[in-house]
């Protein structure tokens, strides 16, 4: 059996195990809408931790972190990982617990239901719905396209080493005989669709837990084998030292990183406060106390995944990586940083281990995709169909059926969009996060500021959209990946300007418009 075929078989076995788990979890379903969309508020601390962590750690956590460290050095850990450890837990603590309380008490399933009640406005849903879905779609595309690329890379190989050299020959030796990315993406979409369709939120929570364990364990295993192979010493510690001593000062320090950019990146993780798929996960909790474990463990979990990947990324810049085969490149000849981790796994480990590690990368991708597919389907069925056509018209079974139909539709749309070859979609990641982060003032004010008004919320959302579109256009629609704003000589991230526009418009308009009714204030601020 060729190395590519060995890896392909292991990937298929892993995906089959995942589907087996979904059959097991779907047997626990109670068949109601609440169970399908929110697991009947029955998710305890451990499953909640794994669901939230698995959902926030996308393909970027493994593949992207290694690639960014390859390009920028160790500074990416502080800029993206330790900042997320602080801010994500802050959002779970300040937003998640409070949202869970209102969701449990008033029966919310989506963000828009909460905002409609809190702001006494039906139209806020009409405004927010396309924005939230529009920001989630590129995020979905990143996962679907990354999954296809990883499968193609890992099952391909020069000569007869690929999985299917006669069926799928290619001029690119790395992808020769590999399962083409469009089929890999289809495989990923089909597996996620099956377990989300049958298992709903309960199936998603179990699958997330399994997949998070898989990618955390296999990430550490990858680190061990790559360190031993590149370091070439007898002991693990000696190999680690040999690898790190070969790293240049440029990559081993943050000397080349803009301090103002590092500082302003701190706003990006606030995006988790407005992710609709995390909002839905928060509402699945059994109790407010279920949030304690995720709040405490999240920063350390990020460290366990990111530190090995960042070290592998900086090691890949050294002469310890064999000259042949050469590092993967983009058509313009520049090294493809996002392919560094799959490349090292493929060239520095055996076929069987390579297959397992590929399963780990796919686990990170799918544990985010499932929640996003489920959440977009939920938003369509809850915020559009049930809201406008009357939820009393449909019984529980019909509402679950409607949600399932929308989930199939969103998976199909995402897959067909992924075939259009939007290579720049990977650059969209930070723009999606910037959009969600700039809506954070809205959710924070809705929960903690009684004076927030309907008009203030509209002003904040519209200011976010206008400033986001203006800066996105200035960046060449995301094509300038290093786009920043020059503020008196300081290089700052676009998210700062968008966040500021959102906050100023929301507060300014709220202060000059009529406050919410006493009934609404009593409902959302009972302590006062």
From residue 479, alpha-carbon distances to 100, 131, 428, 429 in Å are 38, 21, 9, 12
Question: What's the min distance (Å) between Cβ of 203 and other proteins?
Answer: 29
Is 93 or 394 the residue whose CB approaches other proteins more closely? 93
Is 116 or 251 the residue whose CB approaches other proteins more closely? 251
Question: What's the min distance (Å) between Cβ of 419 and other proteins?
Answer: 39
Question: What's the min distance (Å) between Cβ of 282 and other proteins?
Answer: 13
Is 142 or 341 the residue whose CB approaches other proteins more closely? 341
Is 249 or 512 the residue whose CB approaches other proteins more closely? 249
Is 142 or 240 the residue whose CB approaches other proteins more closely? 240
Q: How many angstroms separate the most distant Cα atoms in the chain?
A: 74
Is 26 or 258 the residue whose CB approaches other proteins more closely? 258
Which stretches of the chain bind other proteins, using CB under 8 A? 74-75, 77-78, 81-83, 85-86, 89-90, 93, 97-98, 237, 240-241, 243-245, 247, 249, 252-255, 259, 262-263, 266, 288, 292, 295-300, 302-303, 307, 310-311, 314, 527
Question: What's the min distance (Å) between Cβ of 249 and other proteins?
Answer: 5
Are 365 and 146 within 8 A, CB to CB?
A: yes
Question: What's the min distance (Å) between Cβ of 228 and other proteins?
Answer: 13
Rounded Cα gap, residues 157 and 488, in angstroms = 50
Give the gyration radius of the chain's Cα atoms: 23
Question: What's the min distance (Å) between Cβ of 294 and other proteins?
Answer: 9
**425 is written with which tokens?**
């979609």
Rounded Cα gap, residues 366 and 247, in angstroms = 33
Rounded Cα gap, residues 396 and 95, in angstroms = 29
Question: What's the min distance (Å) between Cβ of 49 and other proteins?
Answer: 12
Is 249 or 323 the residue whose CB approaches other proteins more closely? 249
DSSP 2-62: -HHHHHHHHHHHHHHHHHHHHHHHHTT---SHHHHHHGGG-B-HHHHHHHHHHHHS-HIII
Are 189 and 411 within 8 A, CB to CB?
A: yes
**393 is written with which tokens?**
């018209």
Contacts of 169 (CB under 8 A, 6+ apart): 176, 177
Is 8 or 291 the residue whose CB approaches other proteins more closely? 291
* Buried-exposed string 17-39: b where 16+ CB fall within 10 A, e elsewhere: ebbebbeebbeebeeebbbbbbb
- CA 506 from chain centre, in angstroms, equals 27
Rounded Cα gap, residues 423 and 497, in angstroms = 27
Find out whether the peptide bond into 325 is cis, omega within 30 degrees of 0.
Answer: yes
Q: What DSSP character marks residue 109?
A: -
Question: What's the min distance (Å) between Cβ of 510 and other proteins?
Answer: 23
Question: What's the min distance (Å) between Cβ of 456 and other proteins?
Answer: 24
Question: What's the min distance (Å) between Cβ of 29 and other proteins?
Answer: 31
């Amino acid at each position: 059996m060729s190395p590519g075929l060995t890896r392909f078989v292991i990937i298929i076995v892993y995906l089959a195990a995942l589907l087996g788990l979904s059959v097991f979890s779907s047997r626990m379903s109670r068949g109601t809408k609440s169970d399908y969309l929110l697991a009947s508020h029955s998710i305890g601390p451990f499953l909640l931790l794994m669901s939230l962590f698995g959902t926030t750690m996308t393909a970027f956590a493994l593949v992207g972190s290694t690639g960014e460290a390859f390009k920028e050095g160790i500074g990416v850990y502080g800029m993206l990982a330790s900042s997320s450890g602080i801010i994500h837990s802050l959002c779970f603590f300040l937003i998640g617990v409070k949202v869970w309380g209102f969701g449990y008490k008033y029966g919310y399933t989506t963000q828009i239901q909460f905002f409609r009640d809190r702001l006494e406005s039906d139209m806020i849903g009409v405004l927010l719905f396309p924005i939230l879905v529009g920001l989630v779609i590129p995020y979905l595309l990143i996962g679907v396209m990354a999954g296809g690329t990883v499968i193609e890379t890992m099952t391909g190989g020069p000569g007869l080493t690929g999985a299917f050299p006669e069926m799928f020959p290619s001029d690119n030796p790395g992808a020769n005989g590999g399962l083409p990315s469009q089929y890999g993406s289809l495989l990923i979409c089909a597996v996620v669709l099956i377990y989300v369709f049958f298992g709903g939120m309960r199936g998603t929570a179990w699958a997330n837990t399994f997949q998070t364990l898989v990618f955390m364990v296999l990430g550490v295993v990858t680190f061990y084998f790559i360190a031993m192979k590149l370091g070439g010493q007898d002991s693990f510690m000696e190999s680690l030292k040999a690898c790190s001593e070969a790293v240049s000062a440029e990559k081993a320090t943050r000397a080349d990183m803009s301090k103002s950019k590092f500082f302003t990146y701190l706003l990006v993780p606030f995006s988790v406060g407005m992710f609709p798929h995390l909002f839905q996960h928060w509402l699945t909790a059994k109790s407010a106390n279920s949030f304690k474990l995720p709040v405490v463990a999240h920063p350390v979990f990020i460290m366990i995944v990111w530190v090995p990947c960042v070290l592998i990324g900086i090691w890949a810049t050294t002469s310890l990586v064999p000259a042949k085969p050469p590092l993967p490149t983009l058509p313009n000849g520049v090294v493809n940083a996002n392919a560094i981790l799959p490349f090292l796994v493929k060239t520095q480990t055996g076929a069987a281990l390579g297959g397992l590690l590929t399963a780990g990368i796919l686990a990170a991708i799918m544990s985010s995709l499932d929640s996003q597919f489920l959440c977009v389907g939920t938003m369509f069925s809850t915020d559009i169909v049930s809201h406008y056509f009357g939820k009393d018209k449909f019984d529980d079974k019909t509402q679950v059926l409607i949600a399932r139909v929308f989930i199939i539709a969103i998976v199909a749309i995402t897959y067909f969009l992924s075939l259009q070859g939007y290579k720049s979609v990977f650059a969209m990641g930070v723009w999606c996060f910037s959009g969600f982060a700039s809506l954070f003032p809205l959710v924070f004010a809705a929960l903690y500021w009684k004076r927030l008004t309907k008009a203030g919320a509209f002003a904040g959302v519209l200011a976010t959209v206008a400033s986001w579109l203006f800066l996105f256009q200035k960046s060449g629609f995301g094509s300038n990946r290093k786009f920043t704003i020059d503020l008196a000589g300081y290089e700052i991230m676009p998210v700062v300007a968008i966040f500021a526009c959102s906050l100023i418009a929301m507060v300014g308009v709220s202060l000059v418009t009529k406050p919410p009714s006493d009934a609404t204030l009593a409902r959302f601020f009972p302590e006062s």
